Amino acid sequence: MSKVKEIISVNNLVKKYDNFTAVNGINFKVGQGEIFGLLGPNGAGKTTTVEILEGLRSPTSGSAEINGIDVAKNTKAVKKIIGVQLQECSFFDKLNLFEIVEMFSVFYTSKPNVGEILEKVGLLEKKKSYYKTLSGGQKQRLSIAVALVNDPKVLFLDEPTTGLDPQARRNMWELIENIRDSGKTIIITTHYMEEAEKLCDRVAIIDSGEIVTINSPNNLIRELVDSGFKVEEKIQDATLEDVFINLTGKSLRES
């Protein structure tokens, strides 16, 4: 991270909902071209953090910058350089894929090449198909296409493979890596540790509004193993899932 240009900087960020502190003074930096994962149990504060970065919620104190722009003070400028993966919309049913991507592109001054974007996500041959005919994986890839219409510097992905079968999931991982390799920075939230381990250059593990650790998946696993951790049935020394459970406990936190 030290060698690359910093694109996101989060400084002592706090978010309170009345008396409840959802985000309690977190700090992290993300380098340009990183896939950075935010991991944590339900209620940890991931969504709040991401939505502050996206300019959708304002921080109680502290600050966050994307490409040097303060997200709370200059939300409009930030929105021009970020892409956010949206969840399903019912009106999509009435449009074909080309029309959906085209519709989102009208929000931006620089007009994208809709065909090129559909090709990037592997949906060009489906451009005349209607949304409802798509598989789960294709719908997710379309939501990434829509997030790419403004050629963003930073792409936010919220659980991009939830509900997908293993093939569709691996296909999505490949797409996400291709997007990173094209120079974009990706912030991803996921509950799948295997996914974080495979995809993320670094992860931040958040619990109760605080960052418990930040490092590459490999370094986190090595640290845990070096501390004497052993899995019951040894397949490999430890997985990222072991790191996660070791730091945040086994109890369920359904919200």
Three-state SS sequence of the chain: CCCCCEEEEEEEEEEEECCEEEEEEEEEEEECCCEEEEECCCCCCHHHHHHHHCCCCCCCEEEEEECCEECCCCHHHHHHHEEECCCCCHHHHHCEHHHHHHHHHCCCCCCCCHHHHHHHCCCHHHCCCEHHHCCHHHHHHHHHHHHCCCCCCEEEEECCCCCCCHHHHHHHHHHHHHHHHCCCEEEEECCCHHHHHHHCCEEEEEECCEEEEEECHHHHHHHHHHCCCCCCCCCCCCCHHHHHHHHHCCCCCCC
Position 48 contacts ligand ADP (CB under 6 A):
yes
Number of chain positions touching ligand ADP (CB under 6 A): 12
Per-residue contact string for residues 114-153; x = within reach of ligand ADP by CB under 6 A:
----------------------------------------
Q: Which of residues 62-81 bind ligand ADP (CB under 6 A)?
A: none
Q: Which of residues 8-27 bind ligand ADP (CB under 6 A)?
A: 17, 20, 22
Position 160 contacts ligand ADP (CB under 6 A):
no
Least distance CB 67 / ligand ADP (angstroms): 24
Least distance CB 180 / ligand ADP (angstroms): 23
Query: Within 13 Å of residue 204, how many CA atoms lie on the same side as its CB?
Result: 24
Least distance CB 248 / ligand ADP (angstroms): 11
Select from 37, 45, 83, 137 the one that contacts ligand ADP (CB under 6 A).
45
Position 46 contacts ligand ADP (CB under 6 A):
yes
Position 44 contacts ligand ADP (CB under 6 A):
yes
Least distance CB 253 / ligand ADP (angstroms): 8
Position 251 contacts ligand ADP (CB under 6 A):
no
Least distance CB 132 / ligand ADP (angstroms): 29
* Interface positions with ligand ADP (CB under 6 A): 17, 20, 22, 40, 42-48, 255
